[in-house]
Structures are given as structure tokens and as C-alpha cells.
Amino acid sequence: MKAYRFPDCDTPILVGRKVAVLGGGNVAMDSARTALRLGAGESWIVYRRSKVELPARHEEVENAEEEGVKFAFLTYPLRIIYDDNYWVTGMECIRCELGAPDASGRRRPVPIKGSEYIMNVDTVVVAIGQGPNPLVPRTTKGLECNKRGNIVADLDTGVTSKAGVYAGGDIVTGAATVILAMGAGRAAAKSIHEYLTAK
């Protein structure tokens, strides 16, 4: 398995020979393509519905296909299998068929009894939604968070409920975009400067 190690790489990672990415959104497509570019032998999107229901943008799917990402549609992961040292050695999946539409209006994936099989993978990337890291809110007294765990901050200034603490980007808005995070960083930097230079 290829490794990108510190200090050659700021974020050390191991690159799998066969990677499974769970999910069907833009982040899943990005993860699967990135795995290939880093040197993975095979990269699979594992998605429980069919191609028609993929939530990713059309061009993201097309680009993933062009780049060599493979798709396991109508496939539901049941469990990740690992060895004594907790290295991933496979993933048990079950095949699905589409049933009646659910609350989201999309046809619900229904597992087909007896169709379980083991997918031979050594890396699994979970790309099914993003949530805030609970560490900072949990350890910082007086920092107000909403029920999703996002820090409550003024969007124009980054000011939070705790004096001298500023926040912006995904931790405040929830999953958004680079440009919004950069704008929030800039606004917060201005507020921090004013705070530090105020008499």
C-alpha cells in the first residue's frame, strides 16, 4: 500500500489498492477520483440506489466515469471486515432493488434477501454527509452551539458568544463552499484585529 508520510505530506495517508467510497454525492465523486489520482488501483462508488437517483451533479458523475471510477449501484454496505490489527480486508454488501418512493420522493432501495456478498476492498471512505467535529464546542465553556453542533457566530463579523473567540466557515454554516469559508475567515480576521487593537 502506498503511503504519503509526514514531513513529505502535511496530511499523512495510505492509498488503498481497492477503494470503496460510500455515498453518491459530489463529495463521494471527489473522494473516488482523488483516490485514483493518489495511486489507488481501483476506486468504486458504492451506492444503494441506481444511477438515476445519484444526488451528485451530472458533470461530477460524468467526470468520475471518464477518470475510471467504477460504480456499484443498488448495493448496500452491511459491515466493514477487518483483521486483528484493524486493517480493512473487505466489506459485506447486499444487492438492492428499487421499491416505492420514500419521503424524499426517490424510490427506496429494498435489500434482496440472500444476495449478500463480500467486496474485496482494503480502504473504505464514508462520504455520506458531513457534521462538525464536537471537540471544540465540548471543551470550550461559554461557546454557544446550535443543536447540530455548529458554533453560533455573527456571519458578518465571526463574533461568538465567548469574548475573544471568532468562528466562520463550515463550523458555523454547516457544509458549504470554499469561497464562503474564505470570506468568513477574512471577516473574522478583521474583527480579531479590531479586538486586539482596541483600547
Ligand X SMILES: Cc1cc2nc3c(=O)[nH]c(=O)nc-3n(C[C@H](O)[C@H](O)[C@H](O)COP(=O)(O)OP(=O)(O)OC[C@H]3O[C@@H](n4cnc5c(N)ncnc54)[C@H](O)[C@@H]3O)c2cc1C
The window from 16-24, 36-44, 145-153, 175-183 that contacts ligand X (CB under 6 A) reads 175-183
Between vectors from CA 87 to CA 14 and to CA 36, what angle results, nearest 5°?
35
Per rule CB under 6 A, count of chain residues that contact ligand X: 14
Among 80, 98, 136, 152, binds ligand X (CB under 6 A): 136
Helix and strand element counts for the chain (H, E): 5, 10
Q: Does 43 bind ligand X (CB under 6 A)?
A: no
Q: Is 176 in the site for ligand X (CB under 6 A)?
A: yes
23 binds ligand X (CB under 6 A): no
Name the segment binding ligand X (CB under 6 A); options: 25-33, 36-44, 77-85, 186-194.
Answer: 25-33
In single-letter form, the type of residue at position 181 comes to A
CA dihedral 35, 37, 40, 46 (to 10 degrees): 40
Q: Cα(81)–Cα(76) distance, rounded to whole angstroms?
A: 14
Eight-state DSSP code of residue 148: T
The minimum distance between CB 191 and ligand X, in angstroms, equals 16
- The residues that touch ligand X, with contacts defined as CB under 6 A, are 27, 30-31, 133, 135-136, 169-171, 176-179, 181
